[in-house]
Structure 1
């Protein structure tokens, strides 16, 4: 069996979600695709897919093997290009993730520019308000807002944002302006499902001042919490980029600026570092340059 061809077939089945789709994409018969995957499973001694009459799903071993296959095939493609004396050209499918609103406002323009520059690449953009495990979920690039855990990923810092307390002028006219963080105990508080949401809000450069807050309204999306604040219902704590346009338009006021925590870093992260595929390196380089040049993301720009 041609091991590399088996890997290519396996990756296409995983990406297509089935044997028939992979067969069409590879111009092979379904039977040939099935034989190639079966031969690969026999060689490595593990099942790669769980097959039912309705679906084909990766096993746990298959999920791990898929990322190894993608990496190996990408490295082979780049090695062949280098041996031929050419610079590796970004090709294939690039999967990236970013927080929903940040992705829409700041990452999507980078993506469209990237696609224009690299016509041989297709992008899958997953905008999610949760921390995605890039390795386990097969993601090439992630944009992370917050302090990074020691994950083994290569991280490029591109800027920072602030956690800000804000309210609509109509709310402040009715209930007054909190002068200190402890005054928040006497106000209506809106909770939002972002990484900064805690039963206690922290203040001060090192976050040493804590104030217990009781949010009578807790929203599972930032957009909903922002809408409630704009409606004048209460005080919310969000990231500065999430409220920037409303603040600029005068629909929200930022409060307690002297008591803010230190800014929260923004990183572009990816597995593999400079050994990552050309498609990944090209996107990281472009995203870093574009985001660092944006004063809304990088105040030092």
Structure 2
């Protein structure tokens, strides 16, 4: 089962053999033996690809669950189930990870010197299983996945600008007023040319500047170059410093939820349970997220 799962994960007999420190023929024989034993073909093999069959896909999920239960039993017998060990992989969006997840992760490492960690802070959807992620912090409404999700806060979509900009161009009082203002956008976060507000109000914007990072567009807005729309945690420091002000607050859509997400539920290993407990506590304490 372990050999089969590794082949499925890597989509390659040779790559699986390398990970398992086995020869490629030995891996091939093991999978063939498994197929003969269960009486079903698990892979479709060509000279260029290795893909799971329909039966193989179902069997893959069952094997992952069985091997997870076995690892838990082995860890419990050895005592490591109660002690965080190994490497923890955590993902979130880029700026949120840098601002709010990284401090929690470093605190976790300080408390567990034997642990190691890696991050994937990136503004794109991440497949938790395929990319070997233990814990994800997600902003937005979650699709049904079977994963365990713990809500830890909310974030607002806000329109903001600098005091200097408002002195020169006035303050918008309704979403429709945005058509007369200089608009800045981050293409990484707001690719749509339409901004939506409460009451199904919609405004098609014509930005004078498009930046590929949130940091860049926030810097431009703080410098008085125009209005932008971001998640409010992203401008927390600028708000506290007085560099930015939020407008159109009465017209905002309902806030987006923030969840800590992890696959194994109550069967999660100690490293995941310990980090999730800390992350949930710290994120719920964060005034910018509640």
TM range (shorter): 0.7 to 0.9
User: By how many angstroms is 1:76 displaced?
Assistant: 1.1
Contact 1:165 1:235 in 2 (8 A): yes
Cα distance change on mapping 1:86 and 1:153 into 2, 3 Å: closer
**Residue 229 in 1 paired to residue 225 in 2?**
no
In structure 2, the residue matched to 1:263 is 255
In structure 2, the residue matched to 1:3 is none
For 1:76-95, what aligned pairs fall within 5 Å after superposition? Answer: 76-83=70-77, 87-95=81-89
User: By how many angstroms is 1:10 displaced?
Assistant: 5.2
In structure 2, the residue matched to 1:288 is 280
CA distance, structure 1, for counterparts of residue 175 and residue 42 of structure 2: 57
Unaligned runs of 5+ in 2: none
Contact 1:146 1:266 in 2 (8 A): yes
Contact 1:189 1:213 in 2 (8 A): no
CA distance, structure 1, for counterparts of residue 160 and residue 236 of structure 2: 11
CA RMSD between the two structures: 3.6
The one-character-per-residue Cα deviations of 1:70-90 (angstroms, maximum 9, x if unpaired) are 543332122134346775433
**Residue 241 in 1 paired to residue 233 in 2?**
yes
User: By how many angstroms is 1:184 displaced?
Assistant: 1.3
In structure 2, the residue matched to 1:152 is 146
Cα distance change on mapping 1:141 and 1:183 into 2, 3 Å: same
User: By how many angstroms is 1:121 displaced?
Assistant: 4.7
The answer to which structure has the higher helix fraction is 2
Contact 1:191 1:215 in 2 (8 A): no
Cα distance change on mapping 1:271 and 1:25 into 2, 3 Å: closer
TM-score, length of structure 2 as denominator length: 0.78
For 1:136-175, what aligned pairs fall within 5 Å after superposition? Answer: 137-175=131-169
Cα distance change on mapping 1:126 and 1:213 into 2, 3 Å: same
Contact 1:11 1:69 in 2 (8 A): yes
In structure 2, the residue matched to 1:4 is none
CA distance, structure 2, for counterparts of residue 157 and residue 99 of structure 1: 16
User: By how many angstroms is 1:189 displaced?
Assistant: 1.6
SS of the equivalent of 1:296 reads helix
CA distance, structure 1, for counterparts of residue 133 and residue 196 of structure 2: 32
For 1:14-29, what aligned pairs fall within 5 Å after superposition? Answer: 28=22
CA distance, structure 2, for counterparts of residue 15 and residue 122 of structure 1: 23
Cα distance change on mapping 1:167 and 1:63 into 2, 3 Å: farther
User: By how many angstroms is 1:158 displaced?
Assistant: 0.8
User: By how many angstroms is 1:252 displaced?
Assistant: 1.7
User: By how many angstroms is 1:280 displaced?
Assistant: 2.5
In structure 1, the residue matched to 2:203 is 212
User: By how many angstroms is 1:272 displaced?
Assistant: 3.3
Cα distance change on mapping 1:197 and 1:224 into 2, 3 Å: farther
CA distance, structure 2, for counterparts of residue 135 and residue 184 of structure 1: 42
Cα distance change on mapping 1:13 and 1:234 into 2, 3 Å: same
TM-score, length of structure 1 as denominator length: 0.75
Q: 2:196 aligns with which of 184, 195, 201?
A: 201
SS of the equivalent of 1:223 reads helix
Cα distance change on mapping 1:108 and 1:60 into 2, 3 Å: farther
User: By how many angstroms is 1:46 displaced?
Assistant: 1.9
Unaligned runs of 5+ in 1: 1-6
Cα distance change on mapping 1:148 and 1:196 into 2, 3 Å: farther
